[in-house]
Structure 1
Amino acid sequence: MYIRGIYVPQFVALLFWVVVWEIVGQFELLMLFPPFSEVVVAIGDVVTSPSFVDAAALTAYCYLAGLFLAVVVGISLGLLMGLVPAADKLLNMWINIFLSAPLSALVPVIMILFGMGQPTVIVTVFMFAVWIIALDARAGVQHVSTSLKEMALSFGASRTQRLKIILLSALPEILAGIRLGVIRGVKGVVIGQLLVSIIGVGALFSLYSQNFLMGHFWALILILFAFALSLAELIGRLEQRVEYYAGARH
């Protein structure tokens, strides 16, 4: 970023807010915000605790299961809407409604349908991630060049081969949707475990907040943020490797 024409690395902004956090914590202006240095120390305590290992394993299972379902269903919906105008008219409005709706309010309904356990958390992750994946996949399919489709037909490509060409051409948008779904899925797994089943990471959040261990509470939040951003960065790097597909569509 640039400030008055001078290039300033992005980590400087992050460092600025860390310093502000440390100052606020040291002066004990807000009880909910311990010093950042205390949070960093608490990260070691959280990661090395036996309860964290069990909670992380359970949370990872629910998260990955829900995200896998969201990717499969989201890409399928995106392909359907991008290729079939009637399906697009029927589904597009509803997907946009679910994308913009406060999905946290739907968690109790999901709980009634799927019970108080891991299935509800998996469905919550799915609900948070699938809509953005579907819309980005739809956008990618709709941006596929008509001449590319006509070329596949002229060379006698089968329906499966034409679908593969469309998928590869739409890959940049599909990966962008998955990257956003990854981040939204982390939000879904935490909300699901906090509101429905006090299990996994949700149980640790509840334990730390009830015992006013705010350093451990924020340490756990930073760990989740790091996990989500690391996954998003990996997918972002994959996006950069397939950027040439976007240029081949025009």
Structure 2
Amino acid sequence: MHLFGYRLPGMSSLLLWGALWEFIGQAKVTFFIPPLSKVLSTLYEVLGTVAFQNALKETAYAFCSGVLYAVVIGIIVGILMGKNRLIDELLLPWVNVFLSAPLTALVPVLMVLFGFGMKSIIITTSLFAVWIIILNTRAGVRQINRSLVEMATSFGATPLKAFTKIYFWAALPEILGGVRIGIIRAVKGVIIGQLLISIVGFGALFELYSA
């Protein structure tokens, strides 16, 4: 069943959790859970402040830059891995390691190498997003019908044209799937970067309002 375009079971669950949150907050069961109404009123006040607008700009810049680098690098590396067996055998183990590894542990290394500024935050964001994009792009390329590439080559297509005209577009559905998941992971990366590397953006707001 739907109401105003929303599924009723999902809406009911959301309303139930909201009511439970409000009840626990009003009952003061724990200091760590304020009432939902107070959270929403405080959020409304924060949204209009200069601090929030500055934090939004800083976080959006770091997030968009990190995702852009991750998408470009992920697509290029993924296509190379999908079409070249040697490159695939060399890089695939490392891609799998970094995809499953706790990347937060690498943040101190990035701080030593690149300092405490925006560069380290952008790199952290990219590291969280790039690996799944590489794997999805690789999977998409490996599913391409090789006869398409052979036919293009027989008609004089250069490796660059095959790269841009065949591999990219044929693997696009898998690439977009990887980008979608990568964007979700990048949100985690940019917040972790702002909390651990440099207390700026939304990371600074989290520190301020959790104190």
Q: Mark yes or no: TM-score above 0.5.
A: yes
State the match for 2:192 in structure 1. 191
State the match for 2:140 in structure 1. 140
Q: CA deviation at 1:26?
A: 2.1
Q: Secondary structure at the match of 2:126?
A: helix
Q: Which moved more, 1:47-56 or 1:161-170?
A: 161-170
2: CA distance, partners of 1:159 / 1:89: 21
State the match for 2:110 in structure 1. 110
Matched, 1:170 2:161: no
Matched, 1:53 2:53: yes
1: CA distance, partners of 2:177 / 2:11: 23
2: CA distance, partners of 1:20 / 1:155: 66
1:27-74 Cα offsets, whole Å, 9 max, x none, are 222222212222222221111011111111111111111111111111
- Provide closer, same or farther for how the CA distance between residues 146 and 17 of structure 1 changes in structure 2, counting only shifts above 3 A: farther
- The one-letter code of the counterpart of 1:205 is F
Q: Secondary structure at the match of 2:205?
A: helix
Q: CA deviation at 1:200?
A: 1.3
2: CA distance, partners of 1:10 / 1:139: 33
1:124-149 Cα offsets, whole Å, 9 max, x none, are 10111111111111111111122333
1: CA distance, partners of 2:83 / 2:125: 27
2: CA distance, partners of 1:23 / 1:132: 40
The count of residues paired between Structure 1 and Structure 2 equals 205
1:59-104 Cα offsets, whole Å, 9 max, x none, are 1111111111111111111011101011111101101101111111
Matched, 1:14 2:14: yes
State the match for 1:203 in structure 2. 204
Q: CA deviation at 1:9?
A: 4.2
Q: CA deviation at 1:162?
A: 2.1
State the match for 2:4 in structure 1. none
Q: Secondary structure at the match of 1:30?
A: coil
Q: Which moved more, 1:148-157 or 1:54-63?
A: 148-157
Matched, 1:124 2:124: yes
- The one-letter code of the counterpart of 1:192 is G
2: CA distance, partners of 1:11 / 1:91: 44
Q: For structure 1, which runs of at least 5 residues remain unmatched after alignment? A: 2-6, 211-250
Matched, 1:41 2:37: no
State the match for 1:62 in structure 2. 62
State the match for 1:24 in structure 2. 24
**Identity between Structure 1 and Structure 2 (%):** 51
1: CA distance, partners of 2:188 / 2:180: 13
Q: For structure 2, which runs of at least 5 residues remain unmatched after alignment? A: 2-6
